[in-house]
Amino acid sequence: MNEPAVRVDTASQVPPYAQIRAQLGALIVTGRLAEGDRLPTVRQLATDLGLAPGTVARAYRELEAAELIRTRRGAGSRVAAPPAGPTRPYASQLSTLARDFTSSARALGADTEAIMAAVRDALGPDRP
Render pLDDT for 6-23 as a digit per residue (tens, 0 to 9): 999 888 888 999 999 988
Can you tell me the distance from the alpha carbon of 28 to that of 124, in angstroms, rounded to the nearest whole number? 23
The answer to whether the pTM exceeds 0.75 is no
Q: Give residue-wise pLDDT tens across range 40-86.
A: 999 999 999 999 999 999 999 999 988 899 999 888 999 998 766 55
The per-residue pLDDT for 90 is: 64
Partners of 71 in the β-ladder? 77
Mean pLDDT, to the nearest integer, of 24-36?
88
DSSP state of 30: T
